Amino acid sequence: MTAATVSLTVADRVATIRLDRPPMNALDTAVQDRLGELAAEVSGREDVRAVVITGGEKVFAAGADIKEMREMDQVAMVARGRDLQASFSALARIPKPVVAAVNGYALGGGCELALCADFRIAAEDARLGQPEILLGLIPGAGGTQRLARLVGPSKAKDLIFTGRQVRAEEALAMGLVDRVVPAAEVYEQAHSWAARLAAGPAIALRAAKESIDAGLEVDIDSGLAIERTWFAALFGTEDRTIGMRSFVEDGPGKANFR
């Protein structure tokens, strides 16, 4: 497996992480590790202000490489499971806006990959689900945790207990995806959404993402403390000065952040 199986390109301050392992973008260990490496890279690159994760025009990712997993015993998976979750957590913790452009199937690990994004744009023909139960397993890359936090425990249990797939419109209704568009427009709209945010105040966007994500893991008072700390810290940034000056002099929404 080569690094080319998962590529990284940057245009207009937006990084695109693209899976390219035909025919179904199965997530074997090499792909999983590469995703973690690229998450670390885009997190640290100053020329990257937002990220799109995509699998291409036909399929996002149809899940783990079952042939590879079949050869693993419990001891091997105890070790591998930690690395798998670490790679997906690295994607979820990218301190920049991340959007998943979901065409075709996003099943199992593919659905869990989409869950690592902040926003999900799906094609009209997309199908999402967590079918691990049909293999006698449960999701192992964050599905039981991120899915429940996103759509609520009852809907998460429905998908995980049954292993059923949902079409794009049902996924939209339950909050699993945020927008449904024609298949030919998925990547374009995802990149447009990311590019708009890439022009915003980078540190404030990081503060907003970390405050929301970290706040969901703690009680309300602790969450408010996280928010209060970031809110005060932003008063030391140049973008805050630019934003307030622009608001007073030119009106809202016209600031050119640096």
Q: Which of 57, 68, 112, 217 is flagged as catalytic?
A: 112
- The CATH class given to the 3-198 domain equals alpha beta
Which pLDDT value is given to residue 1?
A: 41
**Domain residue ranges of the chain, discontinuous segments joined by +:** 3-198, 202-250
- Is 60 exceeded by the pLDDT of residue 3? no
* pLDDT band per the 50, 70, 90 thresholds, residue 64: confident
* Long-range contacts of the stretch 241-249 (C-beta < 8 A, 24+): 243/201
DSSP annotation string for 43-106: HH-TT--EEEEE--SS-SB--B-HHHHHT--HHHHHHHHHHHHHHHHHHHT-SS-EEEEE-SEE
127-129 and 165-167 beta bridge pairing: antiparallel
Asked if 121 and 189 count as a contact pair (C-beta separation under 8 A), the reply is yes
pLDDT average, residue stretch 36-43? 98
Contact residues for 161 (Cβ-Cβ < 8 A; gap 6+):
133
- Is 90 exceeded by the pLDDT of residue 152? yes
- Mean pLDDT taken over the chain: 95
Annotation marks residue 185 as catalytic: no
* pLDDT band per the 50, 70, 90 thresholds, residue 100: very high
Fold type of domain 202-250: Lyase 2-enoyl-coa Hydratase; Chain  A, domain 2 (1.10.12)
Which pLDDT value is given to residue 258?
A: 85
CA dihedral 81→99→182→25, nearest 10 degrees, is: -30
Summarize pLDDT for 209-248 with one digit per residue, the tens: 999 999 999 999 999 999 999 999 999 999 999 999 999 9
* Long-range contacts of the stretch 242-247 (C-beta < 8 A, 24+): 243/201
Tokens of 78: 């105890």
The dihedral through the CA atoms of 108, 113, 114, 118 has a sign that is positive
Which pLDDT value is given to residue 4?
A: 67
Which pLDDT value is given to residue 93?
A: 97
Which pLDDT value is given to residue 57?
A: 86
* pLDDT band per the 50, 70, 90 thresholds, residue 129: very high
DSSP state of 176: S
Tokens of 196: 């708009």
Q: Which of 41, 46, 68, 132 is flagged as catalytic?
A: 132
Annotation marks residue 132 as catalytic: yes
Q: Which one has a higher pLDDT value, 189 or 64? A: 189
Topology alike, domains 3-198 and 202-250: no
DSSP state of 147: I
Taking each continuous run of H as one helix and of E as one strand, the counts in the chain are 11, 9
Whole-number Å distance between alpha carbons of 9 and 31: 16
Summarize pLDDT for 159-198 with one digit per residue, the tens: 999 999 999 999 999 999 999 999 999 999 999 999 999 9
- Is 50 exceeded by the pLDDT of residue 102? yes
